[in-house]
Amino acid sequence: MSELARNAGYGRNKKLKAALLQHRAGTLEGLSERLFGLLFSGLVYPQIWEDPAVDIEAMEVSAGHRVVTIGSGGCNMLAYLSRAPEAIDVVDLNPHHVALNRLKLAAFRHLPSHADVSRFFGGNHATTNREAYSLFIEPMLDAQTRDYWNGRGAFGRRRVDVFSRNIYRTGLLGRFILLGHIVARLHGLNPREFVEARSLREQRHFFETRIAPLFDRPLIRWMTSRKASLFGLGIPPQQFDELASLSDDNSLAPVLKRRLEKLTCHFPLNDNYFAWQAFARRYPEKHEGMPPDYLRAAHYAAIRANAGRVRVHHASFTELLAGKPAGSVDRFVLLDAQDWMNESQINALWSEISRTATQGAIVIFRTAAERSILDGKLSPALLDLWTYERERSIELGMRDRSAIYGGFHIYRKRA
């Protein structure tokens, strides 16, 4: 065979091999996205993991504002009610989250007292919650929500019975935290010991001596280089690639280490219920720390009084806005939803946001990576309608107690 023929054959084989590798990568990517979608079809977040105190300050929420927000676990929506906005539209494509949001609103409106609300949502294994539901909440639910909570889950239990146990140990995120505890225990660390820290100095010492070394272990580096292993954190496949590119070995171990450092070292444990959920898998008792913002006694009366101002929709953000008049929304809360969107979806969303936004309207959202998801994806014509408050975004992002996200972003509609 001539040298020319050999080279031609080598070239064809090389192209065929490259095509096969590309096909395999595309197939694996497709499988990852389908698995991600399947996992997110059930209850994902019994508790939302965005800090409502940061949201409220960023949005400057006050009486008269009309807010549209993604629902998720519903904690933030309830916290916003403490500022008495005129109306809140809650949207979510996940029917489990829709049912949870409607139940929480009904509980605030119809349970007799703050103590009853705290007992119902505190996750403290209160068996009296069954009776409280039957007496005060169930008769006030719409038929669809009532059927959901009276229905039975995969193990034959009524769904509402989860409030007689600890709902925060369920859902995709609850099971992900459990998996993290199991892996840590296999390496000789009991995460629950962290909540015994009594100062920021002790919290820092625990992180540096007990938690940080775990991220050098081969098993953890291997696990954090697999996309599916982090679906429980809500990191979609496409966002995983961007975060992994920051590491030499395509692992998210360094990123997760930095996020855990913020969670454990930057905020006092008695004022960070996110850390309690991550390490103790529960909320703190009264003598241990503060509950979530929406369960604090100081906010109860306002939330109860304003709960009737909320409407919960089983719809997408773009779909809901498409049915609203121009200039009818003051505040938009996108959580991290754009991390899951492609360029076309982001532009469709912001087209409706820009149309329905009032002058001076504010949009907030979070991203797994540090930079804004709009960079290079949103059309210049739409982007020019908004001012990115970069410095304030960085400042408030540093104060987000959940510590799970890389970036917090604030955009204000230009005059």
Query: For 169-182, what is each residue's pLDDT tens digit?
Result: 998 889 889 999 99
Distance CA 238, CA 241 (A): 6
- Whether 16 shows a pLDDT value over 50: the answer reads no
What pLDDT is recorded for position 7? Answer: 44
The owner of tokens 């444990």 is: 269
Which of 361, 344, 205, 324 shows the shortest CA–CA distance to 269? 205
Which of 395, 333, 339, 323 shows the shortest CA–CA distance to 364? 333
Per-residue pLDDT averaged across 320-347, rounded?
96
What percent of the chain shows pLDDT beyond 90? 75
What pLDDT is recorded for position 153? Answer: 82
What percent of the chain shows pLDDT beyond 70? 86
Q: Model confidence at 41, in pLDDT bands (50, 70, 90)? A: low
Distance CA 337, CA 408 (A): 13
Return the amino acid letter for 215: F
What pLDDT is recorded for position 4? Answer: 42
Is 44 within 8 Å of 74 (Cβ atoms)?
no
Indicate yes or no: pTM above 0.85: yes
Q: Model confidence at 6, in pLDDT bands (50, 70, 90)? A: very low
- Whether 302 shows a pLDDT value over 80: the answer reads yes
Of 104-118, 158-172, 383-397, where does mean pLDDT reach its minimum? 158-172
Distance CA 51, CA 57 (A): 10
Strand order in the sheet with 357-367: 310-313, 87-91, 66-70, 329-333, 357-367, 407-413, 386-388
Q: What is residue 66's three-state secondary structure?
A: strand
- Whether 87 shows a pLDDT value over 70: the answer reads yes
What pLDDT is recorded for position 30? Answer: 53
Q: What is residue 227's three-state secondary structure?
A: helix
The per-residue b/e assignment along 306-324, b for 16 or more CB within 10 angstroms, e otherwise, is bbebbebbebbbbebbeee
- Whether 39 shows a pLDDT value over 70: the answer reads no
More confidently predicted of 340 and 287: 287
Any alpha helices (H) in 187-323, and if so which ranges?
A: 200-206, 218-223, 237-244, 253-265, 273-279, 297-306, 317-322
Is 377 within 8 Å of 346 (Cβ atoms)?
yes
CA distances from 343 to 23, 101, 224, 377 (A): 23, 29, 27, 5
Residue 57 exposed, middle or buried by CB count within 10 Å (0-12, 13-18, 19+)? middle
What pLDDT is recorded for position 415? Answer: 86
Per-residue pLDDT averaged across 323-327, rounded?
98
Task: Report pLDDT digits (tens) over 255-266.
Answer: 899 999 999 999
What pLDDT is recorded for position 5? Answer: 44
Q: Model confidence at 25, in pLDDT bands (50, 70, 90)? A: very low
CA distances from 125 to 35, 228, 255, 282, 380 (A): 32, 31, 34, 11, 52
CB within 8 A of 187, min separation 6: which ones?
Answer: 214, 217, 219, 220
The owner of tokens 């109306």 is: 87
What pLDDT is recorded for position 204? Answer: 98
- Whether 244 shows a pLDDT value over 80: the answer reads no
Token pair in block for residue 342: 């492609």
Q: Indicate left, alpha or beta for 288 from its phi (over 0: left) and psi (-120 to 50: alpha).
A: alpha
Q: Model confidence at 49, in pLDDT bands (50, 70, 90)? A: very high
Task: Report pLDDT digits (tens) over 252-298.
Answer: 888 899 999 999 999 999 999 999 999 999 999 999 999 999 999 99
What pLDDT is recorded for position 10? Answer: 43
Average pLDDT, the chain: 89
Task: Report pLDDT digits (tens) over 366-409.
Answer: 998 899 999 999 999 999 999 999 999 999 999 999 998 999 99
What pLDDT is recorded for position 225? Answer: 82
What pLDDT is recorded for position 355? Answer: 98
- Whether 40 shows a pLDDT value over 60: the answer reads no
Per-residue pLDDT averaged across 46-71, rounded?
96
- Whether 160 shows a pLDDT value over 60: the answer reads yes
CA distances from 268 to 259, 263, 280 (A): 16, 10, 15
